[in-house]
Amino acid sequence: MEQEKRVPEEEKIFAGTMFAPGDPELRAIKLRTHNLNVDYNRTYEDETEKRAEILRQIVGKMGENCFMQGPIYFHYGTHTTIGNNLFANFNFTVQDDAPVTIGDHCNFGPNVTLVTPIHPMLPEERKVLIAPDGTPKRLCYAKPIHIGNDCWFGANVVVCPGVTIGDGCVIGAGSVVTRDIPPMSFAAGSPCHVIHPLTEADSMRYKPDILGEYRVEE
Which residues have a catalytic role annotated? 119
Q: What angle do CA 154, 51, 147 make, to 5 degrees?
A: 35
Q: What are phi and psi of 65, to 5 degrees?
A: 60, 50
Strand 136-137, strand 152-153: pairing: unpaired
Residues 6+ apart with CB under 8 A from 59: 74, 77, 78, 80, 81, 82
d(CA 172, CA 170): 6
Q: How many CA atoms lie within 13 A of 108 on its CB side?
A: 33
d(CA 176, CA 196): 17
Helix orientation angle between 48-58 and 24-41, rounded to the nearest 10 degrees: 170
